[in-house]
Amino acid sequence: MKTTRPYTFTVWAPQKKSMQLHVVYPQEQLLPMTKNESGYFAITLNNVAEGTRYYYQPEEGKDVPDPASHYQPEGVHGPSEVVHHTSFAWEDAGWCGLPFNQLVLYELHVGTFTPEGTFEAIIPRLDYLAEIGVNAIELMPVAQFPGTRNWGYDGVFMYAVQNNYGGPEGLKKLVNACHKKGIAVLLDVVYNHLGPEGNYLGEYGPYFTGKYHTPWGDAINFDGEWSDGVRDFFADNITHWFTHYHIDGLRADAIHEVYDRGAVPFWEYCYHRVQCLQQQLGRPLYMIAESDLNSPRVIKHPEAGGFGFTAQWLDDLHHALYVLLHEEGQKHYIDFGRMQQLAKAYKEGFVHSGEWVQFRNRRHGASSAGIPGSRFVTFSQNHDIAGNRPNGERLSMLVDYKRLQLAAAAVLLGPYVPLLFMGEEFGATTPFFFFADHSDEQLRQSLREGRKKEFEAFQWDAEPPDALDEKVFADCKLNWQQPEAGEHRLLLQWYKALIQLRQTNPLFQNLNKNNIDITVFADAGLAMLRQDDKGWERILCLFNFSDAPVRYTPADDYQCIEKLLDAAEAQWHMNVTDDDAPLTGTAEKGILLPGCSVQVLRVQLAGVK
C-alpha cells in the first residue's frame, strides 16, 4: 500500500490571478489554490498518496505540469507525480563525506555507462570503481529531459529525476549504495538555461529575460523584476539534491552564462544557503564551477568578493596538455602548444592570466598563482571534449598507448583534484557523441542545423552524425569486455598504480603548490618536483612528450633512492621484455627518459640522509 500523508502543493506564479490544482490520479479533482503576498499559490490536502498525479491550471485553464515537479513518470508533457521523500529507507547514517582534496572523480553518463542505462545498473560496477581507486562519481545531469536519451543539458524539470533512468527511487538507491562503499556522489546541474521541449516555466512567471542573451536564447531572470522567486527556485534546487538525495556535491554548468548584476549575486546567495545547510547536515557539501572566465573570483570566498565555489574545472591544463599529446590539437586550441604553458598550468593554474588571446582577440583572465591546488579539478578528457568532435572521439581514439599513459600520469600526479571520464581508464574505443531525443519535428530540424553550424565554426572537416538517431546513442555505450584484455587491461593497471601512488603517498596528497617546482628541459621534457612542507621528502616526476629519448640533468645534486613508477617497463607493455629497461642514472650522468614516457622517482639531495 502506498504511503499517504498531508501534502502541500505549491507553485510560484506572481502575475497570475488564479490557479487550480487538477488531480488526475487516483481520483480526479479540480481544487482552487490560495495566493499569498509573495506570489505563491498553495493548497494542503490530507492523506495524499505517493504516486498521486496532477497538473496545475493557471488562469488560462489549461493543464500544465508542476515546474518544481519531483517526478515526471510520463515524460516532460505528462502529469507530475507526488514523491514522499521520507519514505525511502536510507542506510548511510554514518556517512560523513570525504575531504575534497582527496577525491578522485569519475564522470559518467547514466544512459551509456551500462547496457541497461539505469541508476541501479551502476551499482554492480561500484566495486570495479573502488578497486581502481575512484572514490567519487560525478553524474552528468539527470533532471527530466524530453524523450529517453540526452546528455542531460536539455533538462526542463530541475527537481525531477529522469524517468527512464529509474526516477527518484533509482537515484536514491545508487547514492545509498555508493555511500555504503565509501564513494561520494556529485551531480551536474544546469542553471544557465533550460531545454526547448517541455519548458513550461514561462507559463507561470517571468523566469526569463531578454536583457541578456546566452547561446541558448534568453537568459534566466536572476536580477530583474520578480527575480526573487526565480532565485529561490534555483537556489532551493541546490538544497533539494543535498537534502532529499544525500548528494555530496554539485557541478554547475557554464556559470559564466548566469547573469546577475544585483548587490548579492546569485552564486553568492547560493553559497550562504549551502553553508547553512552544511551545518545542519553535519557533512561537507561541495560546489564546483565550470567557468571560462579564468577569474579567481569564482573560487574566492564572498568575503573577498568571490562567488564561493569549492573549486572549478581547469580547462587551461587540459588544453596545454592535449596540444602536446595530439599533433592536430593546435588547430583547435590555437593559443596553446608550448611546454612552458603546461608548466604554468601546474604551478599557477590559469595559463591565460591577462595575456592577449588570439581565440578571443582580446586579453583574457587573471592570475590564479597562490591559489591551492584543491580549488581546481583537472582532466585529460570529459564529456564535452569527446562530444564536440565530429566522430565523438575519445583521446584513446586519437593518440597511441604511450601517450595515454602520459595523459593519465600528467593528471593523476599533478597538484589538483583529478577527474576521469568514464572508460578512459581502460582506453575505451566506443565514441561519445552528442545525442538527443526530441519529439517536435521543428525542434529536431533546428537541432540538426544548429549542430552543423557549430561544427563549421570550429572548422571541423567532417559533419556530425545525426544526434537524433538512436544508433548514435547506442554506439556510445561502453564495451565492458575491453578492460579485460590487451592494452586496455594494461592501461587499466597503469591507472590503478597511479591512483594508488596518489592515495598512499603523502606528497601527492599535499596540494599546496608552494611545495612544487616545475622545470622544462630539452624542449619536450617536464620535471615536477613534489616535496613536503619542510622539504625533507621529495618525489621527482619526469615527463617526456617527444618520440625521441631525452636526458634530464637536475640543477640540484639529487640522487635516486627508489624508482616508484616507470612507464617504459615491460609490465606496462605488450610483448616487451625487461632486458633493456631504462636505468635511472645519478645526478652526474642525468636521467634518460625514452620517448613518450614517465618516470616517478623518490630522490634526496646528495649527502642528506
Whether the CA torsion 582, 566, 426, 547 is positive or negative: it is negative
* Single-letter residue type at 121: A
- The two beta strands, 286-289 and 249-252, are parallel
What phi and psi values does residue 602 have, to the nearest 5 degrees?
Answer: -90, 125
- The two beta strands, 157-161 and 143-144, are antiparallel
User: What spatial distance separates the first Cα and last Cα of the chain, rounded to whole Å?
Assistant: 71
What phi and psi values does residue 464 have, to the nearest 5 degrees?
Answer: -70, 155
Q: Which residues of 107-125 are buried (b: 16+ CB within 10 A; e: fewer)?
A: bbbbbbbbeebbbbbbbeb
For the chain, percent helix, then strand, then coil, each to nearest 5? Answer: 30, 25, 45
Residues 6+ apart with CB under 8 A from 201: 67, 194, 207, 208
Helix (H, G, I), strand (E, B) or coil at 105: strand
Residues 6+ apart with CB under 8 A from 123: 173, 174, 177
Query: Measuring CA to CA, which residue among 607, 563, 564, 608 is closest to residue 585?
Result: 563
Query: Measuring CA to CA, which residue among 353, 344, 348, 352 is closest to residue 370?
Result: 348
Residues 6+ apart with CB under 8 A from 338: none
Cα–Cα separations (whole angstroms), residue 480 to 108, 109, 129, 471: 14, 15, 13, 18
**H or E element that contains 45:** strand 40-49
Contact present, 114 and 478 (Cβ < 8 Å) = yes
Longest dimension (CA), the chain: 87
Instruction: Report d(CA 525, CA 545) in Å as an integer.
Output: 6
Q: Look-up: residue for cell 479540480?
A: 30
Positions annotated as catalytic residues are 253, 290
Contact present, 136 and 184 (Cβ < 8 Å) = yes
Helix (H, G, I), strand (E, B) or coil at 518: strand
Helix axes 315-325, 339-347, angle to 10 degrees: 150
Query: Measuring CA to CA, which residue among 494, 591, 594, 501 is closest to residue 545?
Result: 594
Instruction: Report d(CA 56, CA 32) in Å as an integer.
Output: 10
Whether the bond between 168 and the residue before it is cis, its omega within 30 degrees of 0, is: no
For residue 200, how far is the Cα from the chain centroid?
27
- State the DSSP code for 363: E
Residue 82: HSE in the Cβ half-sphere, 13 Å Cα cutoff:
29
> CA triplet 74, 469, 445: central angle to 5 degrees?
85
Contact present, 567 and 405 (Cβ < 8 Å) = yes
